C-alpha cells in the first residue's frame, strides 16, 4: 500500500468536497445548477472544459494505448487533440448565440418539436453512459495499483469504483455546475502537472525518445492476455493454440508456471504473452512504429473520424459553452482549450513509449509491482501511468499521478452527471412533467437525477470485468471512450452541422438522421463486443459488421445523408426559420435591431 499516494488522493478528495460545499451558496436556481449562472470567464471555462475533456481515457488510456499498440495508440492523441477544431470552427459560437441550456434545447428551438427534444435527451443519456463506463473502469484499475486491497469484503477493483461513484455523486449534487466548474479547473491543472512530472522524470532518468522508439520497433509487438485452461489449449484458425504462441515469446521459467496451471486444471485465468497479429498485413510482423495492431483498413479511418467528430457530439462538452457569457467568449475559450489539450497530447505518447523500457528493466531487475506483469509487460496497459510513476519517482510521484488519475475521473464524470441531470431535469421534468415547478423543486429533481446516474455508472463499472471486457480488448479505457465518441458523432453531429449551417433542414429530416446514427452506432458497437467475446463469428454480413471496431465511417455519412434526403422530401420548414437563422448567425447588433423592431411592432398593436 502506497501511504503517501493515498494521503494525496484523500487530500484531493477533501479539497473537491470542500469546493462543492463552498459553491452550494451559489446554487439556488436552475441556471446556477446547470450553467453556473452563465458567468464563467474564457480562461476559467477553458480550464474547466479541458478538465471535463481530459478524462481517464486521456490521462490513463492514451499512454496505455501507445504502450500497448505503438502508432495505432498515437492516433488517439491526434484525434482527441484535433477534435476541438470542428467545435471551434462550426459549432461553439452558434450554440452560445442561440442560448438556452442544453443540446436538446437547441434541437427544440431550431426545429420546434417535442419529439426531437425527447430523442435528443435519449441520445444524451446513452452517450453519457457510454462515456461513464471507462471512467469507472479507470477508478477500479487505479485503486488496484494504488491501494492493492479492498474494504468491507470487496475486491480492490470494486472498492475503487464504489468510492469514486460516491464522491462524484456527492460533490456534483451539492455544488451543481458552479462547484463542478471550480473543481474541474483545479483538477485539470493537477492532472496536467502530473503528466508533465512523469515526462520530466523519464527524461531525467535517461530516457531518449529516438532510441526508445528504435528499441521498441526492433522486435514485433507482444500482447498480453489472460486465458482459461480450455482457451489455452484450443487451436485458432491457423491451427495454433494460445499456449503454443506463448511458447514463442515467454521464458522457460514463466512458461513453467503456465504448465503448472494447465496440469492442475485450475479455475480462473492466467496471463500469457504472444506476438501480436497485424490487421493490415497478415504475413508481416507487427512493429511498434507501424499501423495495424489495433485496426483494420476500415477502422484506421473510422477511429480518427470518430475522435475528430465525436468531440462535437459530447453533450457534457457542448453544455459547457452555455456557461460562457457570450459567443465571443466561447471562441476564446476554445482557443485556450486547443493550447491546453494540444500540449497534453504531445506528452501522453512520450509517457507511453517511456513505459516500455522502464517497466521491462524494473521487472528484469527483480522489482515488484502491484500491477500484474508477464514477460516484462503489464497485463493491463491502462495501469501504465501510476506504475511508471512509482518506478521513476517513488511514492511521491505515484501519489501525484494517482491523484491526477482520480482528478481526471472526477472532472469528467462530474460533467457527465451534470449533462445527464440537465437532460432529465431541464428537458423532461421542467418541460413536460411539472412545468410550474418552483426553482427549489427543479434543483431538487436535478440533484436526484445526479444520484440516479451515479448509481448507473457504478453498475456499469462493476459489469465490465464481470462480462470479461477487460480481457477482450487491450487498452480498454481508450477503446470505450472512443465508443462514446462514436455514439455522439453519429447521433448529434449530423443534426448540429445541418441545423446550424443548412436552412433547409427539417424536423423530420433531423429526427430521422439522429435515429439512424444513434441506433446504427450502438448496434455496430455491441456486435463488435459480441465478436470479441467469442459469441459472434466472423462470417457473413453480421460478422463483417461486428469486425468494425468503430462505426463512424459508416454511421456519420449515413445519418447526414438521411437528414438531407428526408428534408428534401419533406420540405416542411419551421415557419419562423428566418428568425431562427438570425438567432444563430446574426451579430449581437443585428439580433438587437431585429428584437427592437419586433418590440416596436408589438407596441403599435398594443396602442391600437
Number of C-beta neighbours around residue 85 at 10 A: 14
- The three-state secondary structure class of 100 is coil
Which of the given ranges, 147-156, 194-203, 425-434, 443-452, has the highest pLDDT on average? Answer: 194-203
Number of C-beta neighbours around residue 150 at 10 A: 16
Domain stops at, among 465, 488, 518:
465
CATH number, domain containing residue 127: 1.20.1730.10
Nearest CA to 106 out of 423, 432, 333, 336 is that of 423
Model confidence pLDDT, tens digit, residues 444-500: 888 888 888 889 989 999 999 888 888 777 668 878 888 999 999 999 999 999 999
| Letter string b/e over residues 414-446, b meaning 16 or more CB atoms within 10 A of that residue's CB | bbbbbbbbbbbbbbbbbbeeeeebeeeebbbbb
Q: Are residues 321 and 267 in the same domain?
A: no
What does pLDDT average to over the chain? Answer: 84
Angle between helices 384-424 and 42-53 (to 10 degrees): 110
Output the pLDDT for position 36: 47
- The three-state secondary structure class of 137 is helix
Determine the Cα–Cα distance for residues 550 and 294; give it in Å rounded to an integer.
11
* Domain presence at residue 10: yes
Nearest CA to 524 out of 298, 237, 279 is that of 298
pTM for the model: 0.81
Q: Are residues 47 and 136 in the same domain?
A: yes
Determine the Cα–Cα distance for residues 120 and 104; give it in Å rounded to an integer.
5
The helix (run of H) or strand (run of E) holding residue 3 is helix 3-23
Nearest CA to 517 out of 473, 553, 559, 486 is that of 559
Q: Are residues 235 and 95 in the same domain?
A: no
* Domain presence at residue 31: yes
* Domain presence at residue 594: no
Q: Are residues 37 and 162 in the same domain?
A: yes
Nearest CA to 359 out of 67, 138, 59 is that of 67
Determine the Cα–Cα distance for residues 211 and 13; give it in Å rounded to an integer.
39
Number of C-beta neighbours around residue 560 at 10 A: 19
Q: What would the mean pLDDT of 224-243 be, rounded to a whole number?
A: 88
Determine the Cα–Cα distance for residues 455 and 465; give it in Å rounded to an integer.
17
Output the pLDDT for position 27: 54
Nearest CA to 117 out of 427, 498, 434, 486 is that of 427
Do residues 5 and 395 lie in contact, with contact meaning Cβ atoms separated by under 8 Å?
yes
Q: Are residues 181 and 54 in the same domain?
A: yes
Contacts of 532 (CB under 8 A, 6+ apart): 472, 473
Determine the Cα–Cα distance for residues 592 and 516; give it in Å rounded to an integer.
38
Determine the Cα–Cα distance for residues 107 and 128; give it in Å rounded to an integer.
18
Model confidence pLDDT, tens digit, residues 294-328: 888 888 888 888 888 988 888 777 766 655 566 56
- Distance linking the first and last C-alpha atoms of the chain: 80
List the Cα angle 126/131/133 in 5-degree steps. Answer: 100
Q: What would the mean pLDDT of 19-27 be, rounded to a whole number?
A: 66
Determine the Cα–Cα distance for residues 415 and 425; give it in Å rounded to an integer.
15
C-alpha cell at 362: 524494473
C-alpha cell at 506: 427539417
Q: Are residues 450 and 430 in the same domain?
A: yes
Q: What would the mean pLDDT of 248-264 be, rounded to a whole number?
A: 90
Q: Are residues 177 and 240 in the same domain?
A: no
Determine the Cα–Cα distance for residues 534 and 227; give it in Å rounded to an integer.
13
Do residues 355 and 388 lie in contact, with contact meaning Cβ atoms separated by under 8 Å?
yes
Q: Quick check: 198 pLDDT over 60? A: yes
DSSP state of 575: T
Domain tally, the chain? 2
Domain span at residue 90 reads 3-215+297-465
Band (334; pLDDT cuts 50, 70, 90): confident
Share of the chain above pLDDT 90, in %: 33
Domain stops at, among 446, 465, 484:
465
Share of the chain above pLDDT 70, in %: 89
Determine the Cα–Cα distance for residues 453 and 440; give it in Å rounded to an integer.
20
Amino acid at each position: 500500500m502506497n501511504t503517501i499516494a493515498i494521503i494525496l488522493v484523500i487530500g484531493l478528495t477533501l479539497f473537491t468536497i470542500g469546493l462543492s460545499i463552498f459553491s452550494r451558496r451559489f446554487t439556488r436556481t436552475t441556471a446556477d445548477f446547470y450553467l453556473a449562472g452563465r458567468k464563467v470567464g474564457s480562461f476559467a471555462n477553458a480550464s474547466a472544459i479541458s478538465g471535463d475533456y481530459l478524462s481517464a481515457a486521456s490521462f490513463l488510456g492514451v499512454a496505455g494505448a501507445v504502450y500497448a499498440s505503438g502508432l495505432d495508440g498515437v492516433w488517439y492523441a491526434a484525434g482527441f487533440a484535433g477534435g476541438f477544431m470542428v467545435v471551434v470552427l462550426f459549432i461553439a459560437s452558434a450554440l452560445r448565440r442561440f442560448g438556452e441550456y442544453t443540446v436538446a434545447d437547441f434541437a427544440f428551438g431550431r426545429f420546434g418539436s417535442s419529439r426531437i427534444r425527447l430523442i435528443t435527451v435519449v441520445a444524451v443519456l446513452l452517450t453519457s453512459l457510454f462515456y461513464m463506463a471507462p471512467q469507472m473502469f479507470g477508478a477500479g484499475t487505479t485503486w488496484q495499483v494504488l491501494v492493492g486491497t479492498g474494504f468491507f469484503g470487496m475486491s480492490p477493483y470494486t472498492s475503487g469504483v464504489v468510492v469514486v461513484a460516491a464522491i462524484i455523486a456527492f460533490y456534483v449534487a451539492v455544488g451543481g455546475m458552479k462547484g463542478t466548474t471550480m473543481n474541474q479547473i483545479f483538477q485539470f491543472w493537477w492532472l496536467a502537472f502530473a503528466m508533465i512530472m512523469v515526462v520530466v522524470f523519464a527524461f531525467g532518468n535517461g530516457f531518449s525518445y529516438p532510441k526508445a522508439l528504435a528499441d521498441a520497433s526492433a522486435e514485433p509487438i507482444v500482447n498480453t492476455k489472460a486465458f482459461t485452461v480450455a482457451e489455452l489449449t484450443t487451436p485458432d484458425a491457423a491451427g495454433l493454440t494460445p499456449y503454443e504462441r506463448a511458447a514463442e515469446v515467454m521464458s522457460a521459467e514463466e512458461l513453467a508456471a503456465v504448465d503448472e496451471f494447465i496440469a492442475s486444471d485450475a479455475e480462473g485465468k492466467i496471463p500469457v504473452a504472444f506476438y501480436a497479429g497485424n490487421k493490415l498485413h497478415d504475413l508481416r510482423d507487427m512493429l511498434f512504429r507501424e499501423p495495424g495492431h489495433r485496426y483494420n483498413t476500415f477502422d484506421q479511418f473510422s477511429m480518427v473520424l470518430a475522435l475528430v467528430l465525436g468531440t462535437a457530439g459530447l453533450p457534457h462538452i457542448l453544455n459547457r459553452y452555455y456557461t460562457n457569457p457570450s459567443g465571443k467568449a466561447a471562441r476564446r475559450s476554445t482557443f485556450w482549450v486547443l493550447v491546453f489539450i494540444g500540449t497534453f497530447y504531445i506528452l501522453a505518447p512520450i509517457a507511453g513509449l517511456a513505459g516500455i523500457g522502464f517497466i521491462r528493466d524494473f521487472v528484469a531487475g527483480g522489482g515488484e509491482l502491484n500491477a500484474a506483469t508477464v514477460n516484462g509487460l503489464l497485463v493491463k496497459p491502462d495501469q501504465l501511468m501510476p506504475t511508471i510513476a512509482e518506478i521513476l519517482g517513488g511514492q511521491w510521484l505515484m501519489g501525484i499521478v494517482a491523484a491526477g488519475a482520480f482528478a481526471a475521473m472526477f472532472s469528467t464524470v462530474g460533467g457527465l452527471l451534470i449533462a445527464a441531470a440537465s437532460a432529465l431535469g431541464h428537458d423532461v421534468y421542467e418541460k413536460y412533467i411539472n412545468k410550474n415547478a418552483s426553482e427549489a423543486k427543479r434543483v431538487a429533481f436535478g440533484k436526484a437525477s445526479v444520484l440516479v446516474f451515479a448509481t448507473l455508472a457504478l453498475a456499469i463499472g462493476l459489469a465490465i470485468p464481470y462480462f470479461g471486457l477487460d480481457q477482450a480488448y487491450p487498452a480498454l479505457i481508450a477503446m470505450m471512450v472512443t465508443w462514446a465518441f462514436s455514439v455522439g458523432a453519429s447521433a448529434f453531429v449530423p443534426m448540429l452541422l445541418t441545423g446550424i449551417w443548412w436552412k433547409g433542414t427539417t424536423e423530420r429530416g433531423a429526427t430521422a438522421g439522429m435515429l439512424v446514427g444513434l441506433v446504427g452506432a450502438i448496434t455496430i458497437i455491441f456486435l463488435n463486443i459480441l465478436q470479441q467475446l467469442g459469441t459472434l463469428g466472423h462470417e457473413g454480413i453480421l460478422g463483417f459488421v461486428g469486425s468494425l471496431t468503430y462505426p463512424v465511417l459508416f454511421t456519420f455519412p449515413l445519418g447526414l445523408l438521411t437528414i438531407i434526403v428526408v428534408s428534401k422530401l419533406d420540405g416542411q420548414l419551421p415557419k419562423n426559420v428566418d428568425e431562427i437563422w438570425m438567432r444563430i448567425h446574426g451579430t449581437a447588433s443585428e439580433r438587437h435591431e431585429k428584437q427592437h423592431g419586433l418590440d416596436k411592432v408589438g407596441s403599435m398593436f398594443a396602442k391600437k
